[in-house]
Copies of this chain bind each other. A is one copy, B any other.
Amino acid sequence: MEPAATCSSDTVWHPHAVTRVERERLNGHRGMVIWFTGLSGSGKSTLAQAVGQRLHEEGRRIYVLDGDNIRHGLCADLGFSDMDRQENIRRIGEVARLMVDAGLIVLTAFISPFTADRQRARNLISPGDFIEVYCDASLAVCEQRDVKGLYRKARAGLIREFTGISSPYEPPSNPEIAVPSGLESVGACVARVLAAVNPRIDPA
């Protein structure tokens, strides 16, 4: 901030930029990213919304980034090629970084199939404030669920570059937490995520 630079100076009051730490103290918790990754149908959005709901009920400031609010807006200009997927995840990582700086707990729910892209997102966030949650459900389970009918379309060749079918998914090798979302209930998976989040939640 350069008060004298851009506005007539004020001899009494010295404004300063509000810091992340000040915001976190106001909120009573740290900002952080809870990054859900996994195949289509592995439970990312459901878990992100459910964990977010629980945290909100405890008075935490949360926000869920997912395809619904990203793909039609900030990333509406992007497709599903490898290059566009990379740029999509880059922008999501940057938005998450801003929201963490704003003091929020950001829950992201994107397939984010490439290890390098997830690593880049992680690198934007302070160590300890990026919690990668691998929604571990097998392709067979996700394809059998197929509630949106996307796997059927992909198998029929109607969707190109569909993760797990015609585009690779690279599972995390060392996520903060892996939840067996192909086997366990939403409630059980939520409890696992919260157990990883809660020890990190108090502000500085």
Contacts and interface: CB of A to CB of B under 8 A. Distances in A.
Interface of A: 1-10, 12-13, 15-18, 22-23, 26-27, 41-47, 49-50, 52-53, 56, 59, 61-65, 69, 73-74, 91, 94-95, 97-99, 101-104, 124, 145, 147-148, 181-187, 189-190
Contact of A185 (B9, B73, B98): B9
A99 B102 contact: yes
Given A7-B47, A183-B8, A53 B17 contact: yes
B104 A12 contact: no
Chain copies in complex: 2
B13 A187 contact: yes
A7 B26 CA distance: 34
Q: Most chain-B CB neighbours within 10 Å: which of A47, A52, A104?
A: A104
4 closest A-B pairs (Cβ-Cβ)?
A7-B43, A5-B147, A15-B50, A74-B94
A8 B186 contact: yes
Contact of A99 (B4, B9, B99, B148): B99
Contacts of A147: 2, 4-6
Contact of A46 (B2, B49, B124): B2
Contacts of A63: 23, 98, 101-102
Contact of A7 (B2, B13, B185): B185
Contact of A22 (B56, B124, B184, B189): B56
B101 A102 contact: no
